[in-house]
Amino acid sequence: MNDQTDGQLLRVYAEHSTDSVFAELVRRHLDFVYSAALRMVCDAHLAEDVTQSVFVALANNAARLTNRANLCGWLHQTAQNIAAQTVRTIERRRAREREAATMNQLLSSASEISWEQIAPHLDAALGELGEPDRDALFLRYFKNYDLRTVGTTFGISDDAAQKRVSRALERLRAFLAKRGVTVGAGGLALVISANAVQAAPVGLAVTITATAIAGTAVFTSTAIATTTTIAMTTIQKAFVTATVAVLAGAGIYEARQASHRQDEVQALHQSQGSLINQLEQLRNQYKTATNAQSLSRDQFNELLRLRGEVGNLRSKAKEAEMQREENQRIRSAQASGQNFDDANQPKPGAQQIIDKASWAFVGYASPEDAFQSATWAMTKGDLKTLLNSATPEAQKQMVKDWEGKSENELVEQNVNGMTNVTGYRVLGKIAISEDEVHLLVHTEGEDLTPTFIMQKIGAEWKIANRVKYTPF
């Protein structure tokens, strides 16, 4: 992970929200940001707040910063903006007093340039530099990279990197001179290298990592909402009401314990999605349970199961009754030689056999035509015509049954299924309604007599289902 650029790490974090990747970014730049914040606000506690806010902003803006190979400039600018806002509102008067006191001490001290003389003006002077010059100084004297690394970061040679750093250092020295701080370029480089970056407090990296990561997910789960309070700047804390201040203080205290409970924070972050789903399920269960409050949970679940079984049994009983009535009607008609419907149908024994050799595609104008078109399609292995001969619901079932088989396998299956069939006879036709007819068909060569449900879809008849096989 150490050999990846800041931009590469940000891209991984933006795409996968990997905590360890963001922790690496915090590790790389924590001292740099904290030191800049400390210089800007001149207070260790305020510097921690500013540093936390900077990394929260980094987590929220990770996706649009992936094209940056180095984050020093962006982090410094963000820290400067947040610190300026804090200083303007809360520390304005104290900052002026400290600055006046510092200037008095500098005037009374020895003429030798020291870090205490440069520090109050350094960040303002850096802010007046262009971004390329500022980044060059950050890498060379704040991060203490050698010139080769600086050149590699900017995609330039070692000599070009040396010239850019020297030019930037000279411009910084000129800006400081305008503020009454006179120092040579060499002395300025030594003072900055030795003092610009100081170690951040122990445990701050863990706290910031947990805070920034939790901050990006605050809108998806109320379970971690209290962690966002530590991302509030000091200016925001100063203007909330006394009640909110008490709650915020409680939230901050809890967040401070994150350094001792990092595993718990990570586990909570991972489980928040499932908690939301469980909450939705509980809401639905509550709506259902309002009608069965007198029952225990086990009793209520058992009641729902039994209701489902009763419903299934009723449906099956109704289907069986309908099938029994239809079969009885067919057997009575066959025994008495009566017609199956009001149309002038011939007796079962006198039905004409439609020989297999005469089968053809005859369209779907009548139930008989639709049936012949379907049987012809099966004989020819014409899967498209066979599918078109069925109702939409039957088509769905056919497609489901065909899953996992190649077209050649399906063609062979249908053709082979019709090998022994030499023809068929329509023994009977029952008109259930204007849009539904049941055909009793005897297949010659197999001696089977299934009943086919034919339904009218628009102006065409289609096969809806094959109800039952019976020996002839």
pLDDT tens-digit profile of 249-281?
544 444 455 454 555 545 555 555 555 566 566
Long-range contacts of 434-438 (CB under 8 A, 24+ apart): 436/464, 437/367, 437/461, 438/326, 438/467
pLDDT at res. 77: 94
Alpha-carbon span 252 to 271, nearest angstrom: 22
pLDDT at res. 109: 42
Residue 223: CB partners within 8 Å, gap ≥ 6?
A: 268, 272, 275
Alpha-carbon span 137 to 259, nearest angstrom: 33
Domain ranges of the chain: 1-293, 339-468
pTM exceeds cut of 0.75: no
Exposure string of 245-281, with b = 16+ CB inside 10 Å and e = fewer, is eeebeebbeebeebbeebeebbebbeebeeeeeeeee
pLDDT at res. 189: 83
pLDDT at res. 66: 83
pLDDT at res. 270: 57
pLDDT at res. 230: 42
Structure tokens at 82: 């947040």
pLDDT at res. 205: 81
pLDDT at res. 360: 92
10 Å Cβ neighbour count for 181? 19
Helices (H), 292-366: 297-336
Residue 103: CB partners within 8 Å, gap ≥ 6?
A: none
pLDDT at res. 21: 87
pLDDT at res. 107: 43
- DSSP code string of 60-112: HTGGGGTT-S--HHHHHHHHHHHHHHHHHHTSHHHHHHHHHHHHHHHHHS-SS
Select from 190, 169, 195 the least CA-distant residue to 38.
195
Task: Give the residues of the chain that fall short of pLDDT 70.
Answer: 1-2, 91-92, 94-96, 98-113, 214-305, 307-308, 310-312, 315-316, 318-320, 323, 326-327, 329-351, 467-472
Residue 54: CB partners within 8 Å, gap ≥ 6?
A: 33, 37, 75, 78, 79, 82
Instruction: Identify whether the C-beta of residue 376 lies closer than 8 Å to the C-beta of residue 359.
Output: yes
Structure tokens at 76: 């410094």
Alpha-carbon span 233 to 335, nearest angstrom: 94
| DSSP state at residue 128 | T
CATH number of 339-468: 3.10.450.50
pLDDT at res. 463: 94
